[in-house]
Structure formats: structure tokens, C-alpha cells
Structure 1
């Protein structure tokens, strides 16, 4: 990799006094991998020629078969775990003798132990924490250099959700000179912001590990959204040997472009060190200029505009890619959620990839950045067996690490992420049992003090129990800047507001408007309530109680209305915005992913998605469901449902009006008509002030005639959606045909269809359509040439698309 830039090296034993280039670059390609315990793999001369060559990010579990024998259980998506090793051969012979070299990991799951040239560098237990080691003194300038990583995720069940396994985020090599700006040292805030001007406060450090004083010029520049330098300031500094220089500088920008969820303008702050007019180090931080306020009466206020938080909780996996997400995955996810009207994401319940936060910065998505799912008490999450009985199985996740590692993990988490303008709030925990008793007081205070030491934004802690009988322990809650409420009700918020009128409140988690149901699964010939509920044919009382307590739409709709009409509640985060791997409740085998989201695992919206679009967006929209293909039920009564943000909605069956209804957007009931099924078409029309403003039509469809391919996202990797069509180009919402792929100039990264009970592998040259759809995820082999995928199924011509 070092061939990408030139470094002049002194090949003599004297100290190298020349000025060399400092640089950081990814070392993601050419890693050797094996899924077994190989204790001597850390030795320099170990033969890894038979190991598999992989490219990072790499999640080795996601391509494996699902099995009931895997100890990860349903919580871990029935996928294998265990011990694995990675080795990377590095050519760093050209590094200057006076330079320092660091290896930086964005995340590796988990219990990462690292060796360089057989020298043990350390261990990082958390699989979600970023970490780095200096390797300078172990570099061999005459021979090969070997970086070895051991990961151990063998203690299972080890998580309440699918964690992934492997070096699933980027790894960087950093080459510095003997005087440099350390990782995460630069911190930029916006203490004063208006439309007329803004003050940027820039803090950073310069470290001199040399044994003599160095005289330097430190240039600080501000580049606007077009990359044009608009401000430059210089500091002439002298840094003594073995000492640090602390920068604290205010810069004023006239008529700044403010960062907002609708206009996420970004500036770049560039720091560069010069010695004798030659650049010896640089650092760059992207920032958004914005003013954030947190009030009791108006909630969250961004740039003087109150904004109701319309949020979703997300887990970190990227569906068929597992934990090895790419930036394109994040871009697609945020795009689809913003089209729903969401303006915020909660990173449940661990640090996400830096590239996810970069994407939120760029696309204008607010972030509640969460650190922990456990403190000192082990969680025992509910899991359902095949007969429908509920059991609680403890997970070996983080509680055993908390006392030793929580302070460092939280500090590093804040330092890494604090320059992201999208972060509007931190979270120090989710559903922490110790928030119910006295032990939570000291822990909450300690964690809050760490947050406040390194950043000025408030923190929350998502706590359940409000209204459940045993309320959280108030002295513990009082330590939190903005208490978080999980699964509370409107009357609980009112009680809190009466008891604590100066308390700021946010709903950190609540039921979504389509919980535990898959996309396109319908039961329209039952009663209204039953037609909207999951039809899980298990009679066990545990399963039936779970289903009864979680009405598929109504509970989530009420949760939003409870927040919408209470200005003292900042907003809510629904569970979840997107289906995720693991936590299959109330399903058991063969389910291997959740169904809590309003978007399925493949990225296709479910009907509940459109409820939030009707509440969270202003552009006229209307959505009718279920489909109109019920052969064998002709003449039977069924129910049709509508989500819309228009004032009135009229339904037509085969061109005959079934009546016009007023659409109450504060109701917890959807618009529903009882009709008689006859093949043909159904149409809904939305009206504002008596004028037709939007409409949707569903047709009874014929047999499959063609496949439609569409490239929806195409940056670092490519997403291609596949849909089944009849001869009139109508989408077929019941198609389940097996489709096959042939690929040219591309690597198949994953396939999916959104069915949480499918045991087809995620990496394969085939997939069944699920209710008419599937997704293919590819990466070009040669980026300078087009890629191509050819898709076929029995009985119709194959189709292809280039990308």
C-alpha cells in the first residue's frame, strides 16, 4: 500500500532528521483469514498460504448456513460464532526512521487481541469500540512485517441481537512524524450561531515526542461546502521536547450556511503543521454550524426552529451483509427513512461505524448516539421456543466487562464521535435494570460526568418501567440530563410532567405501527382487528399473550399520537425503523431475523411505513392495502385499509364508490372499509378542500410475465431491486418464484427478500422472491468497467442490467 506515496528513507543507523510525509490510509485488502484457533499464527514465519484471502469489512458468519445447533440461538440469527484469526502482510520498509506508525481499528468483534511481528499490542474486549496501537518500535525495516488479530466470540449466547463476527469495519495505518496531532485530538464547537455570523471554537493538541524544542507554524483553515478556503489563521508555536501544545482558537464566519435536517451544509476545518515551510502533519474535521437547544415547553430547537423528533431505532447490521456494512448501505437506509419522514436515528444499543455518522451528517439525519445496553447486571432476554413457550436466557455480553472497561469505552466513544453535527444527544444506556435501584445513582453520575467532560451536548438513558408498577428509581433518573422513556403511555408522560414540571423528556423507544409482521402478509377475511394482527398458529399462552399485548398497528399509532400532542415531550424513536438479524420474538426456528421494523430486512417498506409517512410528511400521499388478489374468495367480505395525510379519502371497488371518509390524523385507528372481493381493481382518492390531490390503484394481476430490475443505489457498492410483473406490467404482490443470477465484473455480496423465516443463504446465486420482491447487492471487480447481472426464472425470458 505504501507505493501510493513516496517516502525518502535513511538506510543508515544515524537518526533521520529529514522531513517526511505523514499520511493515513486504509489497509482493507489482502488479509488472510481462518475460522479456527491457531495459537502460533502470531509468529512472523507462520505459513498462512492456505488461509482464505479476504477484503475488509468482513463478517465471516453472514455467509454461513443457519443451524439450530449454533449456540448463538435465535438471538444471534442461528449463525455460527467462535474464534477466528486474521493476518496482514505489510510492506512498510520505506517508513522514515524518525517516524511513528499506528494501526487503527474502527471495530472488530470481539475480544480483539493484536500482535505486530509477534509482539503483543493489547486486547480490546468490546467489539464495537474503535482502538489503535503504536507499532513503531517493532517495525522490521529489512524484512516482512506481520499484523495478526485474534477474535473470540465463542461464549454464547453473547448478545441480544446479531453482532457479526470478524474485522467488520475499516482498518487504517497512520504514519506520523515525531511531532504530530494525535487521533481524536481536534474538537470543534459552535458556541455562538446566528444567520449573521458564527463562532467556531477549535481545540486541538500538538505532541512533540522528540527530545528537543521544535518551532512550527500551525495553520488553521476553514473550507466551505464547495471546498473553497474562506478563513485561514496561523499560530507560530514552539513545543518543547516531550511536551504538548494546546490549541484553543476562535474563528468567525460571516453569514454561515447552517446545518439543518433539510439543508445539511458542512464545512471542513483543516489543521496543518509546517516546519521550515514543509508540511509535517495535518488533521481535518468536518463540522456543521448549528445551534441546538433543549427546552421543556418547545422540546428540541434547531437553529431557533422547534423540531419534533420523529425517530427510529436501528441495529447496526446491514441485513444480508451482516455487520460488514458499506457506506452505500447507510446511504440507502437513511434515504428510505427520510422518505418516510424520519428525522432522527437512535444507534441501538452500541457505537456504530463512523461512516454511518458521516452519512447522517451529509444527509441531514439527527442521531441519538448510544453507548451501552448493559451496565453491571446481566440481561436475560425473552426468547420463544418452537412450541411457543417463552424462556429467558442470560447473555454473556458486556456486564462482566463494565467495571473495567466502561469508562474507557465511553470516553473513546465520545472523543471519536463528538465532531459529528448530526449528533444531538448521547445515550449512556438502554433499559438498564440498575436505574431501578440505588446502585444506578453512582453509575449514572459517573457516566454523565464523562460525557460532560468531553462534550457539551446532553445525554439520556432509555428506561422502561414507567406505569408498569415499579417506576424507575428517581435519584438515579435525576442524574440524567434528559430522561428517556421506553414503552410508556400518555398518562405516564402527564404524571411525570406534573411531578417534575421542569423536566425535559424524550421517548427513547416505543412500539412501531407494524410490529412483528412481515411485509405483504395479510389476513383480510377475518374481523377488522384479526385482519391486522399476526396470524401465528401457535396456541401456547406465552405466544398468545405476547401477540395480544402488541396489536400490530394500533399500539404504535397510539404511541405516536401520545407524543405528537404533548409539546413537553421532544419526540419518539420507534422500535424499529428496519428489521434486523436476530431477536426473532415471538417467532422461533426457522425465523432468523426480527419483524419489528416498518422496513423489512431487504429494505422494502411495509404498510406501517406509510402510517409514519402520513404523519411525518406534508407532501400528499396515500397508501392502500392489502393487495387485490384473492382467488378463491370471490363474493366474500374483506377489509381494505388506507393511510393518507389528506383530509378525506374515497374508496372505489371496480369503479363503484364505497364512500368517502374524513381522515382524522389524530386518530389511533386507520381508515377501513368492509367490501366484497371481486377481481378487477380498487382505487383510493385523497381530497384536500374537496379537491382530488392524490390517488392509488391496485389491480388483480395475472401470471408472471417478466422481471423488472432497478439500480437504486450505486456508489461504493450497488443495490439492484428485483420485482415480478405480469403482462400488463402490474407488480405481482404474491410472487414467490426462485430467481437465479449470473454476474459479470462483480462480486456478489448478498441477496435477500425480506422474509424473516427464510433459511436460504445470504450469499448465493439464487433467491426466492418474497411477495414479489428481492434485492441483489454487488461490488464491481474492476471499477473502471461496467458490471452486469443477468436474472432468470423458469418460464420467462431472462433480463439483465448494467451498473
Structure 2
């Protein structure tokens, strides 16, 4: 099967593209040429009056449509033609040569259009994709338009069905792996044909590790699955530390003629799950050091590029993560590929909603009719990826507490198991949301006054706001017997019970439900020290997924710290806040202090880490949400605060820490008195050198220091790859830092940086990690945040040298060169 990129030469139009639009618009064409992937939302100025507001980060959600003209060769006239759309947000309607060819409501799922009957050969065709994006359509930044790849697929009448190759390791012992291959052959022609299905597994050097050939008689207009087994001697295994990947090649041979071929990668590994050992991979227990991630990549919005996904996975792996949960949608192919290569385990999640909506126009409007189509595509997409160890059928679904609607969980789980028996099924349940319709009953049962709920908005409150406002009340509700009973059926339907914000139930539920396997599918970042002790102590608790591993657009301000005035029920931040600001990594992927603390709690880091709370807020009351732990940053530049009190935080696995300011010992204190692996010091801000020395058994085990950067500012810039595809199919990041003359990062640098490009390149996105910046990512100038900026560079279709130019007042110009080829 030929798979051809179909990303080029599209025209983007605003508006729904209905039959009367051109007539009403006077026939004017306002289209804009684009190359996919294209996020239509990130390219528009944000609007403080946008209906979805802080939920979508004040980005604009609108209807739009795309058109493209293309020609198919005459030689392909007797072939089957498909288009695969990996992601269109949302409610996509596809028309080919003015005929309706198909649709897909789900904005995060891939889907196929069989174009065979609609296309012409040797002459011009036109395709039109209409995107109906109702507002509000999501609880976070959704992006908009055709934001993932589109492929044109051409195959013989007898072919391997798209995503019809399934490989699984079904048995593994010392020196031998048994790999099952399933291939779906589809024949849309007439007559009977005799073919052979050849399956090969190749090692990294290209040697055949195992192969099999199966004769098949194919009858007209049939679609059947053919199973073969491969026996791999002395296999190299895939795991999180050594993610070995084989290549597979599956061919349909008719005599000496190859009718179709499918190639890809596959990892051999064995999964086991039980209450005594937890999760085992290749016989070894693995605890999931997990984090949740949303689908945007900061300055480029939701547009999917291989480099951006690899960058994210690599950064998370370096920070100690070995697992990520897609929140709350099926992962894209490029992210899965990166997880395979880096050994990152995946919980791939189906949806945030089932049959009820959480906002007016989300997938809950369509799930009951489309779930089987979308689940099928999810499993087929994931099947050959060793990184995927479990599917989550939903996130915080209210129906899980309703004995009739909970049956949807069984439908979803049964469908997945019927397609894939090699992985596990989970459900990420928020017990409080599951019992929202019974809060009055629970309050009476626990002798609490209903008035205590008045300030939270009760069952009608948005879930994040309610959770943040209720505090201990929420814990009592979730810990109640009624909550446990209400979710028994939902948890019984799956292999792994995902607990969102309910770690305090781990021990009691281990006794109440001795056959239950638990994962902390969503947890507060500040609770990791307590949660991880439970994960390590209880074998049936297989891991913890923090909210979140990486900051994201939308749900603006859920991790924001406010000062002095208590925000009360104003849970989300007002305009211009655009990001949640609750990630271990900020929007650029720079590690925040909580990330280093987390690494120490996991037992992976031993070096101490210094962070400083902003001294201008020292004497001001801090108001934190449940998704924030500290406002400390790594800086010893606090102009205007000289001589003022300041709080210094030291993260360490040592027993004691000493703090020095400009070489003078301030104090030596015991670590962990107020929070595990952390100690706080009070001092006054004096520019110079801040240093900590840490001790175990009275002996020094590590040091860390921060120096005040000088006032002179330089622009330091470098690309993280020197070559990009000329066709715009991938990007490079240009990392920009504001430093002093000696190369020390200056977090206070306030010079506005402008960007331009020469040569066959364009700036796809430019900006900082500032969650409250009013700038757009398509602007050509931006203020640094904590001394940092990033630009994403993309090819424009021609080969040649690209020069990215950066200027700021009072700074020497900086240039970065790339090659487009």
C-alpha cells in the first residue's frame, strides 16, 4: 500500500463552508494557503470575551473549512483509495468532488475515508473538509482544524486493510518468544486469487529474526483475518530501560508479484498483573512513575510534529518519568512512536465523556452513536506499540456511579478486549464526581450540615473548582462507604482501577476489595511524598500519575498562586491567563522546582536543588490551589528587594542542609521536618552567591549554588537540530536565553525580543512559558519569562539555508542557521 503525505497545498477558510456561504459572501475567496498540520485556533488573536473563556485559555473556537485540489494518476484507476485523517477538531465533514464522503465527530480520533468511488483519475479532484466547532467544546485548550497529518493511501484491490496488522508477544520464556501476527486481507475485486502472506521480523541490523509464509485462497469481496506465529530465538526484549525495537514486514505475494506491503516497528515484551507483584514487565515489577499530559505543545498549539513529541518524551524521561497518561483523548501516532523509542509506558485514554456532556458541545453529544467506531480506531492504532500497556476507557465519568449508565463501561471494556487481549483496561474514576447526585445522602450519613456545601456550589459546581474549594470535605466524601459502593460495578468491569485524587483509599480498599489492582490515575503534585510511600508499600498499587507532568494551554490558572486577597470561588484565572500553570515542566519544557523534588522522592536524584520564593510576596498571604506546591523559582536575581526577607527552599535526600550567602553560613537544619525531602530557610536577599551543602551521617554528600546574573544582557540562541524537512513536515526548536556576559541566565531580563527569518523557513510559533502573557504565539516579538523564549521553525517547501534573527534593544543581534532539505 502506498502511503503518501497529503499535507501540502491546502487552503484554509474561515466559516462553516456550507452550501450558501459562497453565495452570501458575494463569491469572494478569503482562503489562506496552509500546510498541514494546522492549528486554526492558535493562529487567531485571543479574545477576553471568548465564550469558553479560561477553560480554553481565551483562544477563539470557530467553524472553519479546508479545500484542496489534487490529481490521481491514470495507472491507479483500478486501485482502492483512502484518506486517513489523524485528527480534526472537531465534527469533520468530508466532501470529495462535491459529494459527501464521510464524517467523524470525535476531535481526537483518527478516521478513514474510503474515497474510491468519488475520485477521478488523470484529472483534477477537489476535497473539502468542513469543521463544526461548537463553543464550548472542551474543558481545556482543544485547538482547531486539521491539526494532525492526513495521508493518501493507494492499494491493489487485494490489500492489507489500513491498520490491519496486529503483532503481539503471546508467550515468553528464557531464550524464546512467541509472536502472534494477525493480518486483515481485504479483496474488493472479482474472482478467486491464490496468494501467500509473508511475515518477517527483523532485528536492528536488518537480519531476519523470524519469518513465516502462509498460502491463502482469497475469494471476491471478502475481508478476513489470517493468523500466523513466529518463534523468535534469544529475543532482545523491550523495556523502559532498554527499549529494543524490531522491524516487521508483512507482504501479500502473488507468485513473484508483491501486491501489498506493510512495514513498522514492534517490541517484544511480556506483561503480567496481579495483587502480589503488581505490574510486571518481562517478569520484573515496575512501579509507574507517571504524569498526565494534554495534547498541545505550547507555542505551536495542538499541531502535531514528530520533533515536538520526541522533545517532550525525552525531557520527561530525563526527569525520571517512566509512564505518561494521555489526558483525555487517544494519543497521536508520533507521540506513540517516541514513547516506543525512549521506553515510556503509556496509558492511552479514550475520552473525557460518555453519554453526558461536561460542556455544551463536547463529545458527549455523539459518544453513544460513535463509540464503537472510535474505540476500534484507537485500538488498531495502538496495537503494535509496545509502549502502550493499558487503555483507559474514560476520565472522571459521572456515569460510573449510576448502576444503569455504568453498563457503558462494560461495553467499552468488552470491545477493547475483543480486539486486544494483550493489554489491560483501566477506568480513571473521580469518586466524588461519581456520587455528585448523592451528596445530600452522604452529608446526612456523615452528620454534616448541608450548609457546608453551599460555598462549593454542590453538585452543580464545575469539578475542578469544587475539588479545590472543598479540601478536607472532598476527602471525607470520597472516603465514604457510599462512594465505595457506588463505584464497585464500574471498577469490577476493568483490570485496573484508576483513582483520581483518592490515595487515602488505597489501604482500606486493599482490604475491602482484595482482588483490585489500583493506579493513582490522577494525583495532586504536592502529595507525591505521601502517595509514593503507599505505591512502594502496597503491591497492588502499581503507580502514580501526577497532574500534570507538563504545563498546558487552557484550564487557565488551576495551579496559579495568588497573593493577599483570597480568590474564593474564582478558581480559574481571568484574561490574559492562558495556561494551567500546574506542570512539572513549564510550557517550554523547562523543569520547575517540583520536578527536582519529585525525582528525589522517586529515589532517582541525589543532588540537592535550590529554589527561592519571590521576596516581594514574602509578607503576603499565599493562596494555593490543590495543584500547586510552591511559588519558588531558581533565581538569585531580585532587583529592588535588597535587604528584604526571603524564603529559600532546598530539596534533597540528605539528612541535613546548610545554607550559605556569599560564603557566610546562615544556618544548618534538619531536612524533612515539614515536608519530606525539603527544608526551608529564612534569610535576607543579598546579591551574590546562594549555596547549599547537604549532609548524611555528618558527611557532605552534595552542593548546589545560584549566582546573581550581571546587569548586562546577551541573547544566547541555538537550534536543537540543524536540519529540517523542506516540505514543512517537521520543525526545529530555537532555544533562546537571556544571559549576562559570563553566560549566567538572567531571569529578570525584561528586554523585548523580536524575531525574523531569512530563507525558505517560517516561524510557526514564538513565545515564552509565561502563563499570563497577553502575546500571541504568532507575534514577531515577545518578552522573556524567567529569562527564556522559544521559536519553532518550519520549512516552506524549498531547500536551502534558513537564518533566524533575534534582536533586542541594547543587545547584540543573535543568529541561528538551519538547513532545509
- Flag whether TM exceeds 0.5 (same fold): yes
Asked whether 1:613 is paired with 2:578, we answer: no
The 8 Å contact of residues 618 and 645 in structure 1, kept in 2 or not, is answered as no
How far off its partner does 1:47 sit? 8.4
Bigger CA drift: 697-706 or 452-461? Answer: 697-706
How far apart, in 2, do the equivalents of 1:672 and 1:297 lie?
39
How far off its partner does 1:52 sit? 1.2
Q: 2:202 aligns with which of 205, 215, 223?
A: 223
Unpaired runs of at least 5, structure 1: 1-21, 380-393, 514-554
How far apart, in 2, do the equivalents of 1:98 and 1:120 lie?
22
Asked whether 1:628 is paired with 2:636, we answer: yes
Asked whether 1:573 is paired with 2:545, we answer: yes
How far apart, in 1, do the equivalents of 2:420 and 2:476 lie?
34
The 8 Å contact of residues 615 and 665 in structure 1, kept in 2 or not, is answered as no
How far apart, in 2, do the equivalents of 1:345 and 1:48 lie?
47
Partner of 1:542: none
Partner of 2:387: 422
Asked whether 1:674 is paired with 2:682, we answer: yes
Q: 1:485 aligns with which of 499, 511, 525?
A: 499
Question: Structure 1 residues 498, 783: CA separation in 2 closer, same or farther (over 3 Å shift)?
Answer: farther
Partner of 1:535: none
- SS at the partner of 2:378? helix
The 8 Å contact of residues 339 and 387 in structure 2, kept in 1 or not, is answered as yes
Partner of 1:521: none
Q: 2:512 aligns with which of 496, 499, 505?
A: 499
Partner of 1:148: 128
Partner of 1:699: 707
How far apart, in 2, do the equivalents of 1:634 and 1:249 lie?
73
TM-score, L = length of structure 2: 0.84
How far off its partner does 1:431 sit? 0.7
The 8 Å contact of residues 320 and 599 in structure 2, kept in 1 or not, is answered as yes
Within 5 Å, give how 1:123-272 maps onto structure 2.
123-153=103-133, 155-272=134-251
How far off its partner does 1:509 sit? 0.1
Asked whether 1:94 is paired with 2:102, we answer: no
How far off its partner does 1:39 sit? 2.3
Partner of 1:110: 90
- SS at the partner of 2:163? coil
Asked whether 1:683 is paired with 2:683, we answer: no
Partner of 2:719: 711
How far off its partner does 1:148 sit? 1.1
How far off its partner does 1:648 sit? 4.4
Partner of 1:60: 40
Question: Structure 1 residues 195, 759: CA separation in 2 closer, same or farther (over 3 Å shift)?
Answer: farther
The 8 Å contact of residues 325 and 346 in structure 2, kept in 1 or not, is answered as yes
- SS at the partner of 2:703? strand
Within 5 Å, give how 1:399-438 maps onto structure 2.
399-438=364-403
How far off its partner does 1:65 sit? 0.8
How far apart, in 2, do the equivalents of 1:732 and 1:488 lie?
40
Unpaired runs of at least 5, structure 2: 433-474, 559-571, 613-634, 725-729
Asked whether 1:791 is paired with 2:806, we answer: yes
The 8 Å contact of residues 654 and 677 in structure 2, kept in 1 or not, is answered as no
How far off its partner does 1:42 sit? 11
Q: 1:766 aligns with which of 771, 781, 785?
A: 781
- SS at the partner of 1:39? coil
The 8 Å contact of residues 621 and 646 in structure 1, kept in 2 or not, is answered as no
Asked whether 1:38 is paired with 2:4, we answer: no
How far off its partner does 1:591 sit? 0.8
Question: Structure 1 residues 267, 583: CA separation in 2 closer, same or farther (over 3 Å shift)?
Answer: same
How far apart, in 1, do the equivalents of 2:240 and 2:499 lie?
24
Question: Structure 1 residues 783, 329: CA separation in 2 closer, same or farther (over 3 Å shift)?
Answer: farther
Partner of 1:509: 522
How far apart, in 1, do the equivalents of 2:360 and 2:21 lie?
30
The 8 Å contact of residues 637 and 687 in structure 2, kept in 1 or not, is answered as yes
User: Residue deviations 1:200-249, cap 9 Å, x none?
Assistant: 11011222222211111221111112333333322222212223443211
How far apart, in 1, do the equivalents of 2:216 and 2:697 lie?
68
How far apart, in 2, do the equivalents of 1:194 and 1:693 lie?
42
The 8 Å contact of residues 340 and 617 in structure 1, kept in 2 or not, is answered as no
User: Residue deviations 1:7-49, cap 9 Å, x none?
Assistant: xxxxxxxxxxxxxxx4111110101110123324999xx9897
TM-score, L = length of structure 1: 0.86
- SS at the partner of 1:480? coil
Q: 2:357 aligns with which of 367, 378, 384?
A: 378
- SS at the partner of 2:346? strand
- SS at the partner of 1:221? strand
How far apart, in 2, do the equivalents of 1:689 and 1:119 lie?
77
Partner of 2:535: 563
How far off its partner does 1:306 sit? 1.0
The 8 Å contact of residues 108 and 169 in structure 1, kept in 2 or not, is answered as yes
Partner of 1:463: 429
Asked whether 1:303 is paired with 2:268, we answer: no
Question: Structure 1 residues 758, 428: CA separation in 2 closer, same or farther (over 3 Å shift)?
Answer: same
How far apart, in 1, do the equivalents of 2:654 and 2:314 lie?
23
How far apart, in 1, do the equivalents of 2:592 and 2:798 lie?
34
Partner of 2:471: none
Q: 1:775 aligns with which of 763, 783, 790?
A: 790
How far off its partner does 1:54 sit? 0.5
- SS at the partner of 1:182? strand
- SS at the partner of 2:426? strand
Partner of 1:85: 65
The 8 Å contact of residues 88 and 145 in structure 2, kept in 1 or not, is answered as yes
Within 5 Å, give how 1:276-295 maps onto structure 2.
276-295=255-274
Partner of 1:386: none
- SS at the partner of 2:659? strand
How far apart, in 2, do the equivalents of 1:593 and 1:100 lie?
44
How far apart, in 1, do the equivalents of 2:21 and 2:420 lie?
39
